Structure 1
Amino acid sequence: MRFERQLLGLSIALMVCAPSWAVQRCELNGESVNPNNGHTTAGKSGVMRCTDEDGQVRRREQTLREGRFVGPVVMVLADGERREYSVNERGNRHGLARTFDAKGTLRKEENLDNGSNVGVQKHFAETGYLQELHFSDERRTVLTIAYLADGSLKELRCAPTSVLPQDREVCGHGGRASEVTLYREPGKPSGTVSHLKGQMQRLSVLDREGRLVRNEELKDGRRIKRVFYTSGQPRSETDFIERDPNGPGGREGTAREWAESGQLTQETTWAQGHEQRIQQWYLNGKPKMRQQIRREGRELERTIESFWDNGKPAAVNAERNGRLWGWQKYFNEEGVLVREDEHGERGLLQRRKRYNEQGGLEREERFLEDGSRI
């Protein structure tokens, strides 16, 4: 009896969890077929039509060629959405694909090559106007233009060369820099942007109250980006040489950060794609940390000077490949040396010297690999 109850429970679970296609009804050339059973479609050609009143896909029309699903497909989902596309011999979407909502409005139009977007891609709003225009090249989206209902621009990302008639003026492909206002909603600007030959020259971003949040400019071969507090005070700035992101060289320039009071709190210098120097300050203007970074092949060395908030030295540390190396110095708030530690291979502590308030050596200890002292 217990086994029968278990079997009944399993049967109910299978019925509940069965996929929606389990109750689909399909026919091909007037004959009943099962797309999950290749024997029923082997060698046949035509349009298979399926219906499933309970599934997510309520209606499906798919082309068969000699038993293989190749060619046009139409699918109607439970919410009324309709998808039209074609599949190639690999089973991937290929060619023009369209998606319509339950009202019959075209919402998406794509061009595909073996499942990847190529060329023009369009997205439409519920009311039918063109909402987004994209262009894909080698599986990358190189152009994006987004529109509001009144035709004003909401978003703009340009390609190095003109790829569509719509990008020629706004992306500065006509021989002079463009000047474009972007809008958050009709009549409410979110910022401005300028391009020349697809390269961004200037950008400003506004918040909903019209305050400047961020700006960017290309000046004398350098890309300068700034972020602002709501008070208008600068929050951060990066000033780097403009380089091809896929080319050699890497990041080179300076990055800075400020407190809202206007006090500079950090400055980082980059060269050949790596940090070279980092400086930090307390809000009272006193130095907080200075870090010098050196690279030689795979070796990375850092010298780090730390300070108390009164400007006196707090520590001088040396690192090699992320581990303490050599002698480390530690000071009290008066700037008097109170301790020195020596670290060897793998960062292990080897020796420690302690000093009194007058700077005299008070005690010296040696450490073994297990941390014990001698």
Structure 2
Amino acid sequence: MSIETRLLSLILSALCCANAWAIQRCELNGESVSPYNGNTTAGKSGVMRCTDDDGQVRRLDQTLRDGRLVGPVVMVLADGERREYSVNERGNRDGVARTFDAKGTLRKEENLEDGNAVGVQKNFAEAGHLQELHFSAGRRTVLTIAWLADGSLTELRCAAVTLVPQDREVCGHAGRASEVTLYREAGKPVGTVSYLQGQLQRLAVLDREGRLVRNEELKDGRRIKRVFYASGKPRSEADFIERDPNSREGREGVAREWAESGQLTQETTWADGFEQRIHQWYLNGKQKLRQQIRRDGRNQERTTESFWDNGLPAAVNNERNGRLQGWQKYFTETGVLAREDEHGERGVLLRRKHYGVQGVFEREERFLEDGSRI
């Protein structure tokens, strides 16, 4: 439900004497009527005008058809903002909707279908120039172009096909890749983008000091995204095969993360849309974790080898669907086996074996369902 529809509902359903938004005076075809008394509007057609000099909505012109609120609406708020739209028989906004500020400047123009945005949507600056253009399809915004007053671009997200005259050149629908500079404000670039037939080819994002923060490129069928520290050193990188958005194939590639010192801290390998391997490292360069993930239908099995910061093993854990299962091993910082736990269905702990400082078996505990030991 739109903001206007909710606001209108509040107005028409509230009690006059109790609600500050209540419309106090309403007239239809020269007769006094009340939106709270259906008998006064039953079967009537025309424009019902309601006014309230003290309310948030100062004026409301609502079209009635055979006693039903259907058709054009004009709403004027206390700050002078004016909204014009139409309501269908379902009570949803339908058709072209416009919003004007107190000076009468058009600030928003929407195309709606049963309350949902469809096609071109426009936002205008206070000075009157087109500031943002969006194109909506299937309840998604598939195109966005935003401008400064001098016509330079501040934002650009393209669709696979040309949708409006303004996207032809900048989105690369003219037969060649575009080269576009985006600006944070006049004279201050925020980065550059390049599109070919609506597909992003390159992207570079700068901070306010002009330093590279993030970049992205499509190269040899792979999309590579990088994020950088303020020092310019790499912070993360994702290198994946570029898939058709409509393809059922999942993510495939590698993602990496680094500390600012330059030490690689994590590497994740993806295939068929799922994580396959995860490796982690301490800042001293020693291995921290090594994880292998396998899938069997809807089930996921994960084996995790953890290490102390001296490189010696700390634990070996087996999981199934996020719960420990089977035997788990735990080691001291010297790499000696200290304990083994056995987990059954639903991850319930069944048995625990204790080992001495030399790794020699000492004793075993068994656990009941309530956690008590025998």
Above 0.5 in TM-score?
yes
> CA contact under 8 A between 1:20 and 1:52: conserved in structure 2?
no
Report the Cα offset of residue 39 of structure 1.
Answer: 1.1
Per the alignment, residue 104 of structure 2 pairs with 104
Query: Counterpart of 2:207 in structure 1: which amino acid?
Result: D
Specify the code of the residue in structure 2 equivalent to 1:103. Answer: K
Q: Deviations over 1:43-96 (max 9, x none)?
A: 222222221111111012222222222222111100000111122222221111
- Retained in 1: the 8 A contact 2:314–2:333? yes
Superimposed CA distance per residue, residues 330-358 of structure 1 (whole angstroms, 9 cap, x where no aligned partner)? 11112122222222222223332222233
Paired letter, 1:343 = H
Bigger drift between 106-115 and 194-203 goes to 106-115
Match of 2:303 in 1: 303
Q: TM-score, normalised by structure 1?
A: 0.92
AA matched with 1:244: D
Do 1:300 and 1:320's aligned partners in 2 also have CA atoms closer than 8 Å? yes
CA deviation after TM superposition for structure 1 residue 370, in Å: 3.4
Partner of 1:197: 197
Q: Give the Å deviation of 1:15.
A: 8.8
Report the Cα offset of residue 23 of structure 1: 5.1
Structure 2 Cα separation of the partners of residues 121 and 18 of structure 1: 37
Q: Which ranges in structure 1 are unaligned for 5 or more consecutive residues?
A: 1-13
Residue 135 (structure 1) aligned with residue 135 (structure 2): yes
Where do residues 153-172 of structure 1 align in structure 2 (5 Å cutoff)?
153-172=153-172
**Which consecutive residues of structure 2, in runs of 5 or more, have no partner in the other structure?**
1-13
Please name the residue that 2:258 is paired with: 258
Contact 1:342-1:349 within 8 A present in 2 as well: yes
CA distance in 1, matches of 2:17, 2:257: 56
Q: Aligned partners of 1:91 and 1:165: how far apart in 2?
A: 33
Q: Residue 358 of structure 2 aligns with which residue?
A: 358
Would the aligned equivalents of 2:343 and 2:351 in 1 still touch at CA under 8 Å? yes
Q: Which residue of 1 aligns with 2:287?
A: 287
Aligned to 2:342: 342
State whether residues 355 and 361 of structure 1, in contact with CA within 8 Å, keep that contact through their aligned partners in structure 2.
yes
Partner of 2:214: 214
Greater CA deviation, 28-37 or 211-220? Answer: 28-37
Residue deviations 1:258-307, cap 9 Å, x none?
00000000111111111111110000000000011111012221111011
Residues 80-127 of structure 1: per-residue CA shift (max 9 Å, x gap): 001111222222211111111011111011111121111111101111
Identity fraction in percent: 81
With over 3 angstroms needed to count, the CA separation of the structure-2 counterparts of 1:80 and 1:308, relative to structure 1, is same
> 5 Å matches for 1:32-51?
32-51=32-51
Change (3 A) 1:340 1:130: same
TM-score (norm 2): 0.92
Q: Deviations over 1:241-260 (max 9, x none)?
A: 11234431121111111000
Give the SS at the match of 1:166: helix
- Decide whether the 8 Å contact of 2:15 with 2:22 is kept in 1: no
Q: Alpha carbons of 1:345 and 1:151: their partners in 2 closer, same or farther (altered >3 Å)?
A: same
- Give the Cα separation in 1 of the matches to 2:254 and 2:71: 55
The secondary structure found in structure 2 opposite 1:218 is strand
C-alpha distance in structure 2 between counterparts of 1:326 and 1:199, whole Å: 48
Aligned residue identity for 2:133: L
Quick check: 1:229 aligned with 2:207?
no
Name the aligned partner's letter for residue 147 of structure 1.
W
Secondary structure of the equivalent of 1:182?
A: strand
State whether structure 2 residue 87 is matched by structure 1 residue 87: yes
Aligned residue in 2 for 1:249: 249
8 Å contact from structure 1 (residues 206, 214) kept in 2: yes
The 3-state SS of whatever aligns with 2:40 is helix
Contact 2:177 2:196 in 1 (8 A): yes
SS in 2 for 1:102: coil
Secondary structure of the equivalent of 1:346? helix
Which residue of structure 2 lines up, in the alignment, with residue 181 of structure 1? 181
